[in-house]
Amino acid sequence: MAKKKSVEIGEMTARDALIVVDVQKDFCPGGALAVPDGDEVVPVINRLQELFTTVVFSRDWHPPGHVSFSEQPKFVDGSWPKHCLAGSDGAGFHPQLQVPLHATVLSKGTEKDREAYSVFDVGDLAQTLRHQQVERLFVVGLATNYCVKETVQAGLKEGFQLVLVSDACRGLDIPKGAVKKALDEMSKAGALIVESKKLPRSV
């Protein structure tokens, strides 16, 4: 009988890094650009962190009048209500998200005229990770079909192996099916999509 093909994660090592994308108040219920159930990723991500020696946090961090802000916000591709204003309360991490004191925090979308969905748009993250001998990235956070997807795609282009932990992500399903489409695109591009319970140490 044919065995169902299973994803091989193997051992977790110091060559793995966790990238936590934009788990900020504005992307959680009650926030300016709320992702449905966005806050549900928080306990999953807090548990996952125990598996990693390297954890990088990104935050969306826009100046007033950022190019992505729209007067008539449509919640579609590139036209958003004002969100994640640098230094504002809404731009803060979710209060229950564990962010270790010395964690790397990368702010993105800080230039007024340029959108930046991928964490790799900030500085030389790829180079830094390579210097740390990181080979494989586990990506989690918000929103699946924007900053998470672009980070996964950019990471693959930089030559990393990519794992998306599906229950540690939530997306904006507008139009309906957009999140599924994003998952398919990431998978086709070469990312593994796994649930956190499939990771080596049960978390």
Active site residues: 22, 108, 147
The closest of 51, 34, 44, 146 to 97, measured between CA atoms, is 44
Give just the sign of the alpha carbon dihedral 23, 142, 150, 72: negative
In 105-144, which residue ranges form alpha helices assigned H by DSSP? 125-131
When CB distances to Zn ion are compared, the closest residue is: 60
Smallest gap from residue 106 Cβ to Zn ion (A): 14
Amino acid at 58: S
60 binds Zn ion (CB under 5 A): yes
> In whole angstroms, how close is the CB of 150 to ligand VGL at the nearest point?
8
Q: Which is nearer to ligand VGL, 15 or 73 (CB)?
A: 73
Please report how many Cα atoms fall inside a 13 Å half-sphere around the Cα of residue 177, on the Cβ side. 0
39 touching Zn ion, by CB under 5 A: no
Nearer of residues 70 and 198 to ligand VGL, judged by Cβ: 70
Residues that bind ligand VGL (CB under 6 A): 22, 60, 68, 80, 142-143, 146-147
